[in-house]
A and B are shown apart, each in its own frame.
Chain A
C-alpha cells in the first residue's frame, strides 16, 4: 500500500484533503454524472479517457445534464463503443473522422430550430480529427460562431491507427511514420500547427488550453466555456502511454512536465486576446520532459542528438516568452 500523503504536494490534485470542500473537483463529487462510465477499452493510464471524463462530467454539471455530444472517429470513439456496449451516459453521436464540428453545427442548428435552447452541444475529437482532417469543418464552425463547445484531446498523434504523426506531433518525436531511423531524428521540425492560435484568429468568444495534470483548471475552463454561447474551443493535452512510450502511472506527471517545461502553454483567450496564462511554478528542463517518453529516446544516450534537444529547449523557451509563462513580464 502506498503512503498516505496529507501535505500539499503543490498541485490541485483531485480530492486534496486540505482544500475547502466547495473547491473540490467534480470528479471528487459523489454526485458526478459519470458521463463516460468505466468498462471502456482504453489503455491503462490513457490521458484521453481521463480528459474526456473530466470534461464531460464538468460540462454535465454546467449544463445541468442538458447536453448532447458529437464525437469524431479516433481512440475515444473506438474504445468507448465496442458493439454492443457503450460507455456513454449522454446522448452521443459519432459520424466520421473529419466532420465532428460540422455535425455539431447541425445539431446546434436543429436544437435552435426546435426552440430547445436548454440543450447544449459539445463536440469532441482527437488532434488528428481537429488540426488535420477536421480543420475545414472546425474553422467553418468557428467562423459562423455556431453554439458549440469543441474539445480537442491532443495526444499529439494518430493513436487509433497505430501512432502516426499528426500536425500536432512535436518535432523529433518518433512515431510509426516518423521513426528515428537512418539519418532521421523523428518527426521533422516544421512551423507547427497551433490550433488554439488558429482558433483565436477567428476571434471566437472563448479559447482555452489545459492539461490533465491540473483537473481543477480543466474543470474551471469547461465551466467557463459552458457559461458562454457561440463557438468555443478547448484544447486539452492528454498524454498517451502507448504512443508516447510512458508509464501508465505517469500520465499526469508527464502532462505536468509538458506545461512546466514550456512545451505546452496553458492559457485562456477571449475574442482573440489572451486573458490568462497558467504560470510555470517550477520550470523543468525540456530534456527532463523528453526523457520520460520513449518517443524521444533516440535523442539521448550515445551519441544521441544534443543539438535536437537544444533546439526543442529553444522552442520551449520561445513559448515561455510568448505567453510570459514565468511571469517575468518579459515577452
Chain B
C-alpha cells in the first residue's frame, strides 16, 4: 500500500469531524484518498472542506476544533509556510489539531523533493512534532497523535518524508477499527464554543500576563514528554506494536559511535550500522521520533555511552548552523562527546547507504571536523565554479589550503 494511502486510512479510522485541505506535492495523495473515504461514508459524519489556501485550511481547523470537532489537515513545504501565521495561533489557543507534514524543501529555488526545512521552520510554533521513520511508523504515529493532542490540548504535527515515504509502496500493517477505538477515546474538548456556556476564546493579553501564558505553554510541552512515552506504551499494549516513544535506537547499547537522525534516513543508517558492525566497528543509531518537545535528558542518556555522535541534518539554519545538531549539542552540553554536524540530503538528494557509509568511514578516519557544519554530498566543483564566476572569495577552508577542494565539502567552516 502507498504510504499516503496508509496514512489516509489511519486518519479515517480516527474519525475526524472536519478535514480541511489544500493540494501540494507530496502531500496530495493523502487528502485525495481522504476525500474518497469521506464520500464513501467511511469517516462517519466527517465534513471535508476544500478550502482556497493552506492558511484557510489551518484556519478552518482552528474553528472546527474550537467548535468541538476533531480536526485534521495535511500539507508540506510552501503550504506549511502559507499557514504559518495560524500555527502558533492553534497552539496558543490550545486546539488539538492533527496535521501531517509530508516533508519537502522550501524554495527558492522551488523544489518539490524531500528534506526537513519545512518542519524545522516551524519548530518553535508550539506544536508537538513527531517524525516517522517508516510508513508503518507514520500510521501508528497518526493514531497516537490524535490521542496525544486531545489529552494535552496541544496540536500535533506528524512529519513523514515526502515521496520517500508518502509515495513508497510497501507493506503496512493497519490497526483495526476496534483497536483504534480502544486506543483513542471520543474527543472531549477542554474548551468549546457552546451557546449553553458562552466563553471567550482568543482574547487579547498584554504584558501583564503574556509571559505567564507562554510559560505555561512551555510547561505543558515538557509534560508532553511523559505523555509521548506513555502513549507508545499504551499503543503497544492496545495495538501490539512497539513504536518506541520519544526515540528509537538500533544497536546503540554497546556503541562507541552513534548516528542521530530524524525520519526515513534511519532505515539506510541501520543498514550501514550492520555493515560496520560486521567489520567490528561499534556503531548504532538513535532516531528522534519526538523532535518537539525536545527530549533533552532522554537524548543525553541514550548517547551517554558513545564518544562520537554524527548528526544527520536534513535542513540547516542559513547563517547560523545546524538545527537538529544544535539540539543534540544542548543535550550533550556537559559531556565530552564529539559531535559531527552533517548537512545532507537537501532538496531530495538521495541519502543512500553508500553516501552514509562514506560519511561514517570519513568520520572514523578523522577526516571530518567536529567544529563546523559538514556538507558531505556537496558538489564542490559546481560551487567553486560559481564563486569564481561571481568573483567571490572561496570559503576559508579552501583558500587557507587546509583542505583540498575535493575535501572542502566535508568541513565548510
Give residues in A with beta carbon < 8 Å to B. 65-68, 70-71, 77-78, 81-84, 86, 88-96, 98-99, 102-115, 119, 136-137, 139-140, 143-144, 146
Tell me if A102 and B18 are in contact (CB < 8 A).
no
B40 at the interface (CB under 8 A from A): no
List 4 additional A-B contacts (Cβ < 8 Å) besides A83-B204, A113-B45: A86-B200, A91-B199, A93-B202, A144-B50
B364 at the interface (CB under 8 A from A): no
- Chain B residues numbered 29-74 whose CB sits less than 8 Å from any CB in chain A: 45-47, 49-53, 55-57, 59-69, 71
CA distance A65 to B206 in the complex (A): 31
Tell me if B47 and A91 are in contact (CB < 8 A).
no
Could you say which residues of chain A place their CB within 8 Å of the CB of B195?
65-68, 90-91, 119
Q: What are 19 A-B interface contacts by the 8 Å CB criterion? A: A82-B204, A83-B203, A83-B204, A86-B203, A91-B199, A93-B62, A93-B193, A94-B203, A102-B59, A102-B60, A103-B62, A106-B20, A106-B67, A106-B71, A107-B64, A110-B65, A110-B67, A110-B71, A140-B53
CA distance A83 to B52 in the complex (A): 33
CA distance A111 to B68 in the complex (A): 8
Cross-chain pair count, CB within 8 angstroms: 168
B216 at the interface (CB under 8 A from A): no
Could you say which residues of chain B place their CB within 8 Å of the CB of A98?
55, 85
Query: Which listed residue, B64, B86, B209, touches A109 by the CB 8 Å rule?
Result: B64
A67 to chain B minimum Cβ distance, whole angstroms, is 6
Could you say which residues of chain B place their CB within 8 Å of the CB of A112?
45, 47
B68 to chain A minimum Cβ distance, whole angstroms, is 6
Given the contacts A83-B208, A137-B52, A144-B49, A110 and B68 also touching, CB distance less than 8 Å: yes
Tell me if A99 and B199 are in contact (CB < 8 A).
no
Question: Which residue of chain B lies nearest to A78 when distances are taken between CB atoms in the complex?
Answer: B204
Tell me if A93 and B63 are in contact (CB < 8 A).
yes
B383 at the interface (CB under 8 A from A): no
Tell me if A114 and B68 are in contact (CB < 8 A).
yes
Tell me if A81 and B203 are in contact (CB < 8 A).
yes
Question: Which residue of chain B lies nearest to A120 when distances are taken between CB atoms in the complex?
Answer: B195
Given the contacts A110-B64, A143-B52, A92 and B200 also touching, CB distance less than 8 Å: yes
- Chain B residues numbered 364-406 whose CB sits less than 8 Å from any CB in chain A: none
B201 at the interface (CB under 8 A from A): yes
Tell me if B62 and A106 are in contact (CB < 8 A).
yes
Given the contacts A96-B89, A144-B50, A68 and B59 also touching, CB distance less than 8 Å: no
B17 at the interface (CB under 8 A from A): yes
Could you say which residues of chain B place their CB within 8 Å of the CB of A144?
49-51
Question: Which residue of chain A lies nearest to B61 when distances are taken between CB atoms in the complex?
Answer: A106
Tell me if A105 and B17 are in contact (CB < 8 A).
no
* Tally of contact residues, B, Cβ under 8 A: 45
Among B17, B47, B89, B197, the most chain A Cβ lie within 10 Å of the Cβ of B47
B301 at the interface (CB under 8 A from A): no
Tell me if A106 and B52 are in contact (CB < 8 A).
no
B109 at the interface (CB under 8 A from A): no
Interface of A is mostly: mixed
Give residues in B with beta carbon < 8 Å to A. 17-18, 20, 45-47, 49-53, 55-57, 59-69, 71, 85-86, 89, 93, 193-195, 197-206, 208-209
CA distance A77 to B202 in the complex (A): 9
Tell me if B86 and A110 are in contact (CB < 8 A).
no
CA distance A99 to B52 in the complex (A): 12
A228 to chain B minimum Cβ distance, whole angstroms, is 19
Could you say which residues of chain B place their CB within 8 Å of the CB of A111?
67
Tell me if B67 and A105 are in contact (CB < 8 A).
no
Tell me if A113 and B93 are in contact (CB < 8 A).
no
B189 to chain A minimum Cβ distance, whole angstroms, is 10
Question: Which residue of chain A lies nearest to B206 when distances are taken between CB atoms in the complex?
Answer: A83
CA distance A104 to B49 in the complex (A): 12
Could you say which residues of chain B place their CB within 8 Å of the CB of A95?
59, 62-63, 86, 89, 93, 202
Could you say which residues of chain B place their CB within 8 Å of the CB of A140?
51-53, 56
A227 to chain B minimum Cβ distance, whole angstroms, is 18
CA distance A108 to B18 in the complex (A): 10
Tell me if A110 and B45 are in contact (CB < 8 A).
no
B98 to chain A minimum Cβ distance, whole angstroms, is 14
CA distance A312 to B399 in the complex (A): 67
A111 to chain B minimum Cβ distance, whole angstroms, is 6
CA distance A139 to B55 in the complex (A): 13
Could you say which residues of chain B place their CB within 8 Å of the CB of A92?
193, 198-202
Tell me if B59 and A107 are in contact (CB < 8 A).
no
Tell me if A99 and B200 are in contact (CB < 8 A).
no
Among B45, B50, B202, the most chain A Cβ lie within 10 Å of the Cβ of B202
Could you say which residues of chain A place their CB within 8 Å of the CB of B197?
91
Question: Which residue of chain B lies nearest to A83 when distances are taken between CB atoms in the complex?
Answer: B205
Tell me if B209 and A70 are in contact (CB < 8 A).
no
Given the contacts A95-B59, A110-B67, A110-B71, A102 and B51 also touching, CB distance less than 8 Å: yes
Could you say which residues of chain B place their CB within 8 Å of the CB of A106?
18, 20, 49, 59-67, 71
Tell me if B18 and A113 are in contact (CB < 8 A).
yes
Could you say which residues of chain A place their CB within 8 Å of the CB of B200?
81, 86, 88, 92
CA distance A109 to B89 in the complex (A): 20
Could you say which residues of chain A place their CB within 8 Å of the CB of B57?
102
CA distance A108 to B51 in the complex (A): 13
A250 to chain B minimum Cβ distance, whole angstroms, is 29
